[in-house]
Structure 1
């Protein structure tokens, strides 16, 4: 009997039932996909970490090196250190790597190193997460470069450096736990020991070292780093903890997952409102039937079951379909994960965690159904049979008389008047249009911001046209001075600023630690500071947000920071706090008077703006050819390469979010009008009997609904611009950027996206009204 009632109800309300069913399935689909993505990320990261055995502490070093000192330190710290290994890197410039048709990797912002596979830990894996074993004449190329330059297995690359020249066949993709992410500034090419020895013999590249430590489970990481520094061991380079590598690996997929989760939460809220809307419409239509059932003695509990069980069945079936489809849809979002973290995402965790979505949606729908069904308790059989109980208490003071209308046509004015008089009814639609707009605009704003040259300010870089990085070579200091002299005399360069980054010892709350401090004139290309200003005079320093926080140095503007320079301790005053997501977010900038730590110089960078009318590309090519060891990029390209994975992932989210928002808007608009026209049948019949045509009535509903849509779009765009900034800033604060300001592309956010929503929803309103008002309403008048 129950199944027969559900079937009859479905036949009677096909459009409404199918729409609600699709919407529930879509809510479950998105929710399960987001959870599925997170479960895959957790499981694949755990698998890669277990197989790659990454270092807990990695000290990068360039310059003189004695392994005996490291061995002695390791033995002294056996209570903390389980294993130690030093990887020797042969670092080359991108211009030394040739491939394809006379192409090179000269434009890359990444450092390139050739290495052999480690023996104890920090293994570089293939796409099956197995240790790479490269034979002579072959090379495993990092995934980052395979993607960027569209390289394939079987292609060849040629390494040319001084007297050395050799051709390698690409045998594998190199999945590198420690250097996978585009946010890490170096990448490792894996070759055979024999090829490596030949490169070493012919002095191809500069020698650098990764001094790596694997700690015991309860090893004291901070204590070990302090002992390392106090022991005066090789440390001409940054120190990186294992947690940083974990964060960098997960960042792009986690960022996408966070956006999908936000959209899913909004979808679940809309789903519950949608069910509520449909339920009210159904009960309103069935008031007479409810009155009959009450009159013949059927209990309230049994009447509620008729409606509740229908939605229970619908929620279960739609939930199962959405849950199963999520395992196909999630593939749209986990391509990056499959490539960079694990090709095999067949773990069982996702099947269990993804059940949260259908169960949550089912619970919310049943809860809302029970809440709405309480209205049946308040309806007597007599009231229900009169079919006006849902409208009681609606008598309002007459307002907006038609005679006072001077600006709109009668039909449009009546539609706008209806919205004003029944705004409580329309506010649900208003809220949903706001959410739909928010879902569309927020991902677009994030994408445009990350893809903009202005995003460089969140990477601790002032906005400029070009950036020149000088790699470490024997002549780097001379090249740096020569470059500045040439820029000074180059009339095509409007302004420039040179910066030197060195590693210094800085006192934290417990001991001394190493920190990268950049020195130079920061007034030429200023940053946007969260607090304070740039260092302008002697004894001044500014800190990144992550460095100034409690997890860093725990400093505020005006506090003092102790820095060791040339064995002498200096107290520097903190003048400002800025945002920086590079190098784990922990950087600092000091006035030139601090001096350069010559023994620990990490890199030299020059920023410049070209004069008006000068071709930036030509100028970049000139300096790239003039300085072999230089890496020349415009700031937009530098940002794109550094954030490449996240930007690519976000573009997929933009497309998906747009499609979801359009589907939501169409479904909700159709359901709302179905309910509204059902409620207004008597009123429509009276208007028809007075001589109004179907076209007149349709225009009234279209005018009112379109006004709600336009207001919803305006509020939605404003919410995505301001509330969206707050949400993204909260998420990015853990990475070192606490105050994100969106880059708005006005024609997209205020013209294109709203126009698409207006056209799609407008067409839906037109079709929905057209179907409804053509029915024979004389039947209603006779009833």
Structure 2
């Protein structure tokens, strides 16, 4: 019998049932996709680590090098070190690499190195996660450059440097565990040993070293790094813990998963509101039937089962469909993962874990349904049979009389009046509109923030028109000094600042020595925004990045002191400020120009400048690039986009996805809400029509009321995305070294385009829904 009742209920409420069913399916799809994405990421990272065998400690070095000392150190610390390998890099400027039609890679912010495959560990893989083997005359190009320059297998690149010129055929793409991410500033091209030896013979590029250690299973990484420093071994460059590569590789896909999970949580909240709306509509329609069932002795539990079984069946079916469709949807969001981490996402783990979403959703829906259905217990037989007569008008009799309206047309006034009288009912719709606006605007604001030149401040980079980087070359110091002299005589440059980054030793919380990159210069010209304190501007002052100042690093606050070893002498510096930086693992520092430059460990030179009003920035950049072809000349926006390219692309996908999801939700909920509202007001609508009001007049009343709720929902949602959104994004970015993100809010997008689009969509939905409902046969309704 109950199955028949449920079946009849499905037939009677096709629109409501279909809307709720689609909505639950969509919620399960997103939740399962997020879990699937995380499962894929875990599996893929595990496989990539297993195949690539990355180093646990990587010490970068340029300058004199003695492998014998490294070998002795390795043997001495065999209790911690399993293997050691040194990779020799031939580092070239991008201008020496030609491709396509007279194009070069001179505009890249990445350091380019040519290497041969390692023998023991830290293997560079192909797209099948197999160890790369490159034949003579061929080259494997990093995935980053394959995407950025649209390089294809079978095409050629030509290396030109001095007397050396050779054409290489692109035979494969290089999946590099340590240098995959755009956040790492170096990329490795893999060539054959014969070609590599020839390049070394012709002295193509600067020689740099990656001194790598693979630890035993229980090896102490900190002990090895401390012992390495105390042994005075080659360390003219940053030391990198292998864990940071894991973070960099997983970052963009983790960001996508976090956004999807956030949307899934919001969808779960909306689904509860949706179910509540559905039950209110259904119970209101069936109020007399409930009274009859109670009158003939059917228990409250049995009556509740009639409605509960419907949603049990719907949850099972929607959950199953959502679960299956999630595997198709996840392919749309894990393209970056397939390219950078693993092309083979086999295994059963993701299928098992994805079941969590539909199962969890089922139990949450059933529990919530039981809670909502408790209102049936409160309905007496008399109330149920008399509800249509007694309830209507009880609370409306003397509220907002029509004769007091002086400002609005009658239809608009009646719509606004209805919202105020039934504000508890409209409150549900108001909350849903807030959430949907949040889902749309937060990803847009996040995308605009990451795509803005201002985002450079979260990378520890001062905002300027042009940034010129000088990396390791034979003429680096000469070119740097020449540029500074030229800028002094350039009337088109209104202000400039020079910065030198060197590697120093710094005393950590364990009273042992670590390495730290300190940038020296005048930081008052292009100031950063500091979380605490200010920039260093006097002798003996230093500012630390958030990651360096945190408890698990140096554990310093503004006013504390740090001890730095400068050219063999210890120097005490006072911390004046803490800033945000997501580059180099987030661990950097800035000191006043009075601090001595560690000439033996200079990493790079940077010159930032602003041009005069009216000067063409790109033309000025081209002039400097042509004059200093060994330099990297970029505007800050281009620098940011190259560094955060993958994440920005992923966020763009999230923007489109968020808009699509929010629009679907708004349409479904609006239809569902109006269906409930119109069923409650059926007799009232019939009376208005019998008094001469047209269906158009009645539709305008509902349109005015619902759009008013929408406008207020958009306003609150926009503010929530700006303020609450900043908190959520900052929490997510804290582990990367940015603890306070200020989202960029583009006014015409937030306050004009998005509201206008939502108003049009909701307006059309209301018009269509009302047009169908208010044209029913009057005689049937009145009867």
Q: TM-score, normalised by structure 2?
A: 0.98
Separation in 2, partners of 1:90, 1:383: 86
The one-character-per-residue Cα deviations of 1:202-234 (angstroms, maximum 9, x if unpaired) are 100100000000001111111111111111110
Which residue of structure 1 aligns with residue 212 of structure 2? 212
Aligned-partner SS, 1:436: helix
Which residue of structure 2 aligns with residue 682 of structure 1? 683
Deviates more, 1:669-678 or 1:345-354: 345-354
Which residue of structure 1 aligns with residue 751 of structure 2? 750
Aligned-partner SS, 1:152: coil
Which residue of structure 2 aligns with residue 200 of structure 1? 200
Separation in 1, partners of 2:545, 2:341: 29
Aligned-partner SS, 1:276: helix
Separation in 1, partners of 2:533, 2:232: 35
Which residue of structure 1 aligns with residue 531 of structure 2? 530
Which residue of structure 1 aligns with residue 597 of structure 2? 596
Aligned-partner SS, 1:743: coil
Which residue of structure 2 aligns with residue 579 of structure 1? 580
Give, in angstroms, the shift of residue 686 of structure 1: 2.4
Which residue of structure 1 aligns with residue 668 of structure 2? 667
Which residue of structure 1 aligns with residue 762 of structure 2? 761
Which residue of structure 1 aligns with residue 42 of structure 2? 42
The answer to whether the 8 A contact 2:395-2:421 is kept is no
Separation in 2, partners of 1:416, 1:276: 23
The one-character-per-residue Cα deviations of 1:632-654 (angstroms, maximum 9, x if unpaired) are 11110000000000000110110
Give, in angstroms, the shift of residue 663 of structure 1: 0.4
Separation in 2, partners of 1:386, 1:449: 58
Which residue of structure 2 aligns with residue 166 of structure 1? 166
Give, in angstroms, the shift of residue 491 of structure 1: 1.1
| Distance change (3 Å), C-alpha of 1:173 and 1:34 | same
Separation in 2, partners of 1:750, 1:287: 42
Separation in 2, partners of 1:185, 1:389: 74
The answer to whether the 8 A contact 1:379-1:389 is kept is no
Separation in 2, partners of 1:210, 1:397: 82
Q: Does 1:714 align with 2:742?
A: no
Give, in angstroms, the shift of residue 164 of structure 1: 1.1
Aligned-partner SS, 1:553: coil
Which residue of structure 1 aligns with residue 184 of structure 2? 184
User: Matches of residues 37-186 of structure 1 in structure 2 within 5 Å?
Assistant: 37-186=37-186
Aligned-partner SS, 1:158: strand
| Distance change (3 Å), C-alpha of 1:13 and 1:690 | same
Separation in 2, partners of 1:245, 1:470: 25
Which residue of structure 1 aligns with residue 416 of structure 2? 416
CA RMSD of aligned residues (A): 1.3
Deviates more, 1:609-618 or 1:205-214: 609-618
Separation in 2, partners of 1:585, 1:534: 17
Give, in angstroms, the shift of residue 473 of structure 1: 1.3
User: Matches of residues 346-495 of structure 1 in structure 2 within 5 Å?
Assistant: 346-388=346-388, 391=391, 395=395, 398-495=398-495
Give, in angstroms, the shift of residue 478 of structure 1: 1.2
The one-character-per-residue Cα deviations of 1:295-350 (angstroms, maximum 9, x if unpaired) are 22222222111111111001100110011000001111100000000001122221
Separation in 2, partners of 1:367, 1:257: 27
Which residue of structure 2 aligns with residue 276 of structure 1? 276
Which residue of structure 2 aligns with residue 561 of structure 1? 562
Which residue of structure 1 aligns with residue 632 of structure 2? 631
The answer to whether the 8 A contact 2:61-2:236 is kept is yes
Give, in angstroms, the shift of residue 78 of structure 1: 0.4
Separation in 1, partners of 2:393, 2:519: 71
Separation in 2, partners of 1:405, 1:152: 70
- Structure 1 stretches lacking a partner, 5+ long: none
Separation in 1, partners of 2:399, 2:277: 27
| Distance change (3 Å), C-alpha of 1:24 and 1:74 | same
The answer to whether the 8 A contact 1:666-1:761 is kept is yes
Aligned-partner SS, 1:98: strand
Give, in angstroms, the shift of residue 396 of structure 1: 6.3
| Distance change (3 Å), C-alpha of 1:109 and 1:302 | same
Give, in angstroms, the shift of residue 780 of structure 1: 3.2
Give, in angstroms, the shift of residue 180 of structure 1: 0.0
Aligned-partner SS, 2:190: strand
Q: TM-score, normalised by structure 1?
A: 0.98
Give, in angstroms, the shift of residue 403 of structure 1: 2.0
Give, in angstroms, the shift of residue 397 of structure 1: 7.5
The one-character-per-residue Cα deviations of 1:660-708 (angstroms, maximum 9, x if unpaired) are 0000000000000100111112222222233322222111111000000
| Distance change (3 Å), C-alpha of 1:744 and 1:738 | same
User: Matches of residues 486-505 of structure 1 in structure 2 within 5 Å?
Assistant: 486-505=486-505
Which residue of structure 1 aligns with residue 737 of structure 2? 736
Separation in 2, partners of 1:45, 1:83: 22
Which residue of structure 2 aligns with residue 341 of structure 1? 341
Give, in angstroms, the shift of residue 287 of structure 1: 1.2
Which residue of structure 2 aligns with residue 10 of structure 1? 10
Aligned-partner SS, 1:365: helix
Deviates more, 1:471-480 or 1:120-129: 471-480
Separation in 2, partners of 1:372, 1:115: 66
The answer to whether the 8 A contact 1:430-1:711 is kept is yes
Which residue of structure 2 aligns with residue 319 of structure 1? 319
The answer to whether the 8 A contact 2:117-2:123 is kept is yes
Give, in angstroms, the shift of residue 779 of structure 1: 2.9
Separation in 2, partners of 1:135, 1:689: 87
The answer to whether the 8 A contact 2:699-2:770 is kept is yes
Aligned-partner SS, 2:167: strand
Give, in angstroms, the shift of residue 392 of structure 1: 8.8
Separation in 1, partners of 2:498, 2:689: 78
The one-character-per-residue Cα deviations of 1:402-428 (angstroms, maximum 9, x if unpaired) are 222111001101111111111101000
The answer to whether the 8 A contact 1:98-1:105 is kept is yes
| Distance change (3 Å), C-alpha of 1:389 and 1:259 | farther
Give, in angstroms, the shift of residue 388 of structure 1: 4.1
Aligned-partner SS, 2:236: coil
Deviates more, 1:741-750 or 1:288-297: 288-297
Give, in angstroms, the shift of residue 2 of structure 1: 4.2
Separation in 1, partners of 2:390, 2:717: 31
The answer to whether the 8 A contact 2:93-2:106 is kept is yes
- Structure 2 stretches lacking a partner, 5+ long: none
Give, in angstroms, the shift of residue 395 of structure 1: 3.1
Which residue of structure 1 aligns with residue 782 of structure 2? 781
The one-character-per-residue Cα deviations of 1:361-395 (angstroms, maximum 9, x if unpaired) are 11121112111211222222232222349949963
The one-character-per-residue Cα deviations of 1:532-561 (angstroms, maximum 9, x if unpaired) are 110011000001111111011111111111
Separation in 2, partners of 1:555, 1:90: 38
